[in-house]
Every structure is written in structure tokens, then in C-alpha cells.
């Protein structure tokens, strides 16, 4: 069967689930093969906005009952209750369960759903909303090649996807790509604010910062791009960029970032322990 016909059910219809569903529709997935269980009527209405043929409801069991692929897209805090609800249900044999919840481990999924359930844990990120997401996947031992391919199909609908073998690295992934967009947004906010302080009109500041960020990201995404070399090539000795970078280095930007990402990694591990 074509991937585009696979029955994919979502438990939780919030932002991430909608981003994935929108990506699947863009990739040509059959809308009638998508279903979502979501408690909030206003959120369900947004799914009808994605496509009128998507089946929506508030009953997790109904969606789980006929999904070949079940995507768990709820907050980690509600995962224990949702897993407890799914544990006793008859679900299709070989159903692939994909969890996008931060910190929820494959062991936690196996404890509730059974060790024989093929499960894939995914850490997506927010640019999934615009089809430029970065998803990192890790699979339980019982996921076969077809299951990996299905999981990749779902994850790649929102951008790029890559596999890791070592699940213990997922907290570091969360710190880098999961939380990462916020670091870049903060840098852009701070640059915009400073640009205004330096006298630029707000709309000019906004355009300069955002186009510069987009341009730098595109240059860094070129095949074989070396970001250190790109930086060096705009940094003439004694020039303006060198003056700015000297301040950032003197003020300890490297150490600050190291502490920030380490804090995110450690918080991810802590949240995972409480979700488990
Ligand atoms: N957004 C991101 O950038 C991002 C990045 C990486 C990972 N994630 C992960 O993706 C997951 C979802 O995040 P999100 O941003 O999409 O959150 P969200 O917008 O809050 O979506 C969660 C949805 O699940 C619904 N829900 C709550 N309890 C439920 C239940 N018992 N059964 C079924 N649905 C239920 C919520 O409904 P109510 O509105 O009624 O509560 C909400 O619509 C999280 O675990 C998060 O860690 C998100």
C-alpha cells in the first residue's frame, strides 16, 4: 500500500499534530486516511480548516482502534493518563506508535503498550509549522524496516529527519534542535531591539535582522558549508565585525551557551523522569 493511504491517527490535536497533518496533506496524503482525537472543540475545528475530510472526535479509543500509525502528540504531563487509557484497548496488530512528547522514553511506552509494540520516539521542532522542521527519531528494537520507513514518512512531511541509535542522546537533541529555535528567536529579538536603539526605524530593524538571519541560515545550509569559515570570511582584521565578535567573546558567549544548552538537556532528563 502507498504511504499516502495509510490510516494515521493522532491523539492530541494541538500545534505539533496539526503541523504534521498539514505536512502529510502537502505530501499528498489522503485526507480521509487521517483522524484526530482532541478534547477541545475549537481545536477540532482547526482540523476541519486543514481539510474537511479529516475525521475528528474526542474519543482516543475510536482513533486508536483503526490507525495503522498512531501519533501521540499530547503534552508529556498527560502522557501517563493517555497511555493508561490505550493500554487495555484492542489495537490493530503491528500498529506503529509514534510519540513526539518531550522526555517520554521508549521504556515508558513499552511499559504501558507492551514490549512487542513497535514504537518510535521523535523529537520534532517548531519550524515543522513551515515545513522546515528538524526531527530526530529513535526506534524500539521491535520496529522493522517498514516501520522505520513509515516513521520517516511521517517525520519528513514537516522537514528533515534523522535517526539516532542511542536514546540517551535525546535529551541533548531536545536542548539543541527541540529548544533551538527559541535561541535564534531571542538573538533576533535582541538584535532588533538594539538596532532600534542605534536609531533605525522599527520596520527597517525588523527587515534587516530577519533577512540577515534567513540569509545566514541559507548560506550555512549550502552543501559542505563550514560556519567557522563563513564567519571568518566576513570578519576582516580590525573591522566592524571583528569589533562586535571581540565583545561577544570577551563577555563569554561560548560559556553562556554551553550553560544554557546543558540546562535544557538536564531539564529534559528531569521532565522525562517525571513523565515516566
Ligand atoms: N510545539 C513544539 O515545538 C514541539 C517541539 C518538540 C516536541 N513537542 C512535543 O509535542 C507534544 C505536543 O505539543 P504541542 O505544542 O502540539 O502542544 P499542544 O498544542 O498543547 O497540543 C496538545 C494537545 O493535546 C490535547 N490533549 C490534552 N489532553 C488530551 C487527552 N487526554 N487526549 C487527547 N488529547 C489531549 C490538548 O487539548 P487541550 O487544548 O484541551 O489541552 C492539545 O490540543 C508535546 O509532548 C511536546 O513535548 C512539541
pLDDT, one tens digit per residue, over 109-159 is 999 999 999 999 999 999 999 999 999 999 999 999 999 999 999 999 999
End-to-end CA distance of the chain: 35
Shared-domain flag, residues 90 and 204:
no
Give the mutation target among 12, 181, 276 for probing the ligand 1 site: most ligand atoms within 8 A of CB: 12
Task: Give the C-alpha distances (Å, rounded to integers) separating 25 from 12, 52, 158.
Answer: 18, 12, 10
* Mutation pick for ligand 1 pocket among 10, 11, 16 (CB with most ligand atoms within 8 Å): 16
pLDDT range class, residue 56, cuts 50, 70, 90: very high
Regarding whether 258 and 206 lie in a shared domain, the answer is yes
Strand bridging mode 119-123 / 159-163? unpaired
User: Using CA atoms, how far apart are residues 78 and 110, in angstroms rounded to an integer?
Assistant: 17
Residue 1 confidence class, pLDDT cut points 50, 70, 90: low
8 A C-beta contact, residue 108 and residue 121: no
> What pLDDT shows up at residue 276?
65
What is the tens place of the pLDDT at every residue in 206-233?
999 999 999 999 999 999 999 999 999 9
**Which residue in this structure is represented by grid cell 524500539?**
140
Entry field: residues in the chain: 276
Q: For residues 20 and 124, what is the distance between their CA atoms, to the nearest angstrom?
A: 10
**Are 233 and 254 within one domain?**
yes
Please report which confidence band the pLDDT of residue 72 belongs to, taking 50, 70 and 90 as the band edges.
very high
Q: What is the pLDDT of residue 67?
A: 97
CA dist 264 and 259 (Å) reads 9
- Answer yes or no: is the C-beta of 73 below 6 A from any ligand 1 atom: yes
Q: Which of 27, 8, 118 is nearest to 73 (CA)?
A: 8
In a shared domain, residues 7 and 70: yes
Ligand 1 nearest-atom number relative to CA 102 = 47
Q: Determine if ligand 1 sits within 6 Å of the CB of residue 96.
A: no
Same domain as 186, residue 120 = no
Q: Are strands 133-139 and 119-123 parallel, antiparallel or unpaired?
A: antiparallel
Query: How many domains, the chain?
Result: 2
pLDDT tier, 88 (very low <50, low <70, confident <90, very high otherwise): confident
Question: By residue range, what is the domain housing residue 153?
Answer: 3-168
pTM: 0.93
Q: Are residues 30 and 104 in the same domain?
A: yes
Query: Could you tell me if the CB of 43 is within 6 A of ligand 1?
Result: yes
CATH number, domain containing residue 51: 3.40.50.720
Q: Which of 126, 147, 168 is the last residue of a domain?
A: 168
Residue nearest to atom 35 of ligand 1 (CA): 12
In a domain? residue 187: yes
Last residue of a domain, one of 110, 143, 168: 168
Q: Would the CB of 74 count as within 6 Å of ligand 1?
A: yes
Name residue, grid cell 528531569.
270
Distance from C-alpha of 176 to C-alpha of 106, rounded to nearest angstrom? 20
Across 234-246, average pLDDT: 97
Atom in ligand 1 nearest the alpha carbon of residue 82: 31
In a domain, 160, yes or no: yes
Q: How far apart are CA 53 and CA 168, in angstroms?
A: 39
With a 6 Å cutoff on the Cβ, whether 64 touches ligand 1 is no
For a pocket test of ligand 1, which of 9, 10, 11, 14 has the largest count of ligand atoms closer than 8 A to its C-beta? 14
Measured from the CB, is residue 100 less than 6 Å from ligand 1?
yes
Q: Compute the half-sphere exposure of residue 227: CA atoms within 13 Å on the CB side of its CA.
A: 6
| Pair (155, 86) in one structural domain | yes
**Quick one: 210 and 160 in the same domain?**
no
Amino acid at each position: 500500500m502507498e504511504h499516502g493511504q495509510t490510516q494515521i491517527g493522532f491523539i492530541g490535536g494541538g500545534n505539533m499534530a496539526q503541523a504534521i497533518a498539514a505536512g502529510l496533506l502537502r505530501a499528498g496524503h489522503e485526507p480521509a486516511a487521517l483522524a484526530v482525537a482532541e478534547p477541545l472543540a475549537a481545536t477540532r475545528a482547526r482540523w476541519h480548516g486543514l481539510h474537511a475530510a479529516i475525521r475528528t472526535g474526542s474519543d482516543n479509543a475510536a482513533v486508536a482502534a483503526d490507525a495503522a500509525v498512531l501519533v501521540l502528540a499530547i503534552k508529556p504531563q498527560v502522557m501517563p493518563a493517555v497511555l493508561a487509557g490505550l493500554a487495555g484497548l484492542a489495537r490493530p496488530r503491528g500498529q506503529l506508535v509514534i510519540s513526539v512528547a518531550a522526555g517520554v522514553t521508549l521504556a515508558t511506552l513499552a511499559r504501558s503498550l507492551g514490549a512487542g509494540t513497535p514504537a518510535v520516539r521523535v523529537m520534532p521542532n517548531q519550524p515543522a509549522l513551515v515545513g522546515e522542521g528538524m526531527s530526530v527519531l529513535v526506534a524500539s528494537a521491535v520496529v522493522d524496516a517498514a516501520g522505520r520507513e513509515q516513521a520517516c514518512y511521517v517525520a519528513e512531511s514537516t522537514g528533515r529527519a534523522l535517526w539516532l541509535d542511542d536514546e540517551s542522546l535525546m535529551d541533548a537533541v531536545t536542548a539543541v534542535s527541540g529548544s533551538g529555535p527559541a535561541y535564534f528567536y531571542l538573538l533576533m529579538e535582541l538584535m532588533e531591539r538594539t538596532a532600534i536603539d542605534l536609531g533605525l526605524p522599527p520596520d527597517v530593524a525588523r527587515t534587516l535582522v530577519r533577512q540577515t538571519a534567513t540569509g545566514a541560515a541559507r548560506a550555512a545550509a549550502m552543501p559542505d558549508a563550514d560556519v567557522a569559515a563563513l564567519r571568518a570570511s566576513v570578519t576582516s582584521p580590525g573591522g566592524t565585525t571583528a569589533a562586535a565578535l571581540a565583545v561577544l567573546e570577551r563577555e563569554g558567549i561560548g560559556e553562556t551557551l554551553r550553560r544554557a544548552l546543558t540546562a535544557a538537556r538536564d531539564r529534559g532528563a528531569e521532565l522525562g523522569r517525571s513523565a515516566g
